[in-house]
Amino acid sequence: MALRHVFVGVGAGGLGAVLALHGAFPGLVSARVWKQFESPDRPGISAERTSVVRLSQRHAAGVSAASSEQDAALRVKDPADVPTDPSHLVAGVGVVPALIDTQAAPDDDLRQGLGPVPPSAPSPDVLEPDLYVGALSKQTIIRARPDHDAPIVGFARTGALLRRAGVAASNKGCAEGWYRVEPEGYVCLGKAATLDPEHPILQLASVQPDRSLPLPYPYGRSRYPTPPLYTKLPSAEEQRLAEQDLSHHLTKKFASKWPDAQGTPPPSLLAHGEMVPRPYGYPILKREFLTGYAMTDSAFAFVDVFEADGRAYGLSTDMSILPLDRLEPVRASEFFGVVLDEQRTLPVTFVRSTSQYLYEGSATLGIKPLRAIAAREAFHVIGDPVKIGGVKFLATRDGYLLKQHPRQVTIEPRREMPKWAKDGRLWLEVSLLKQTLVAYRGNEPIFATLVSTGKDGLGDPETTHSTPQGVFLIHTKHVTSTMSGEAADDEYDLRDVPYVQYFKDGYALHAAFWHDAFGDPRSHGCINLSPADARHLFSITDPPVPLRWHSALSTRGTLVYVHP
């Protein structure tokens, strides 16, 4: 008979232990030591894997790396990424306050004449401070109620730990039980979720996306020949079989571009040639040492980087092992829009030319160049253009002059507000002709930036790479999502595109790390944002994605207005 374990961390007494309550033997209680609380951000998971965090931080601060390769961001490879049945959407994803029993007595608190105060019985509705459900799936489903017919409110990603209640709320259609998780919703234990903090997938995927960074993971884009997708750390012979050009390739020393992998040992679970465990929900592949090769236009996100037998490897989010010398590290674009307030508001002018200057002076005293203007630099401008020496200039709020140029775009204040601009409601306005986005709260603009929409302009989205026009609501948000296309002349496979917000079918606002041409149409129809802009908008729009969740769904998300 299988035993059902409920792990209870004993923090108040300082015991540093976990009680294992055996559901099959209610009267039997044994103790085990839970030794892996080194990392405050990953309770129950070892902090051994730190190189990937250093790498992520360094890459996020990197210089712009413009790419001439064509943007690819429309088709969604996995239909589960975008639920199409409205019955699976919950009306709003509210945040339920954490319910934690803060009344437990300390160890030395004794009832007069009765000894220590006994702990209260676990409740299916009360979230415990040291109990977690671990996600084992690409998309571990979180439902509004403990029922497979209940609306989906979100997903957890492989390796995520969600704080949970002490006991199951129900076993309806779920033999191992439905558990309430933070901040709301229920997860069904089984192939997609576990209570075992030592599960190999939880150990290997312990590094979760860092939403404070423009790129939530370290990323790499495939070189040519593209990288093999290994299921284990390959032996020297297996590498020679899979990579015919290996000897010549290694002389190029591409691995030096991944310094954080150098000298970092592989995870102990993989160090001796063990197969990488396959998360639930990914295709079942033949379990040899190699599953195939990456597409030519492909990119991967990594939860770990390390060195084995003198070669650098990365463990991708889908639990594949890739040799890093066959990938180019992705550097985040430095472009970020303009945060607006009452003092510094619209109009704003973005200079898209790389050969313009800022001037000082006046029509009476004369003007002289002050400094070169950075590409896409923004200026708050005031008044109408003025002519000086036959040339039109814009006056900036800081008292300087900006020569008018065809590669400038000015976002003017709206003359009239739409009916939905009220009561402090957040909404986004996208102009296809100007390639701009403005975020409003009510009738007050709070953020402005440049975007890249569909490369076919105002065409029909059904037959061209154009962005749909109209009024939409954001219905699904993913911290990252895979986007791919299989057209004969346009194949691509971009894993973990950051900060994805779907507003109509497969059309979304999202970060683009494969180009740095924001302000020009480039996409297959989605609205491309710089990684920093995408992160900022993701953090303020609805539905909110709770901490440690990977996705959230709602029928009442932020309004998006797309027009010429």
Which residues 6+ apart lie within 8 Å of 253 measured at CB? 325
pLDDT above 70 as % of the chain: 78
**What's the average model confidence in pLDDT over 87-95?**
38
Please provide the average confidence, as pLDDT, over all residues in the chain.
84
Output the pLDDT for position 64. Answer: 35
Domain 426-563: CATH superfamily is L,D-transpeptidase catalytic domain-like (2.40.440.10)
340-392 pLDDT, tens digit per residue, is 999 999 999 999 999 999 999 998 899 999 999 999 999 999 999 999 999 99
The pLDDT of residue 93 is above 60: no
Token couple for 205: 């995927």
* Strand spans (E) along 246-365: 290-293, 298-308, 311-316, 321-323, 327-329, 338-339, 348-351, 357-362
Outline where 234-311 has alpha helix (H): 236-242, 246-250
**What's the average model confidence in pLDDT over 6-16?**
34
Output the pLDDT for position 118. Answer: 65
141-152 pLDDT, tens digit per residue, is 999 999 999 999
Output the pLDDT for position 229. Answer: 96
Output the pLDDT for position 286. Answer: 66
Highest mean pLDDT among 78-87, 88-97, 474-483: 474-483
CATH number of 347-411: 2.30.30
> Using CA atoms, how far apart are residues 203 and 478, in angstroms rounded to an integer?
23
pLDDT above 90 as % of the chain: 75
3-state secondary structure 414-477: CCCCCCCCCCCCEEEEEECCCCEEEEEECCEEEEEEECECECCCCCCCCCCCCCCCEEEECCEE
C-alpha distances in angstroms, 286 versus 275, 283, 289, 291, 464?
Answer: 12, 10, 9, 7, 38
274-299 pLDDT, tens digit per residue, is 999 999 988 766 668 999 999 999 99
Domain boundaries, the chain: 1-35+96-208, 219-329, 347-411, 426-563
pLDDT higher at 49 or 195: 195
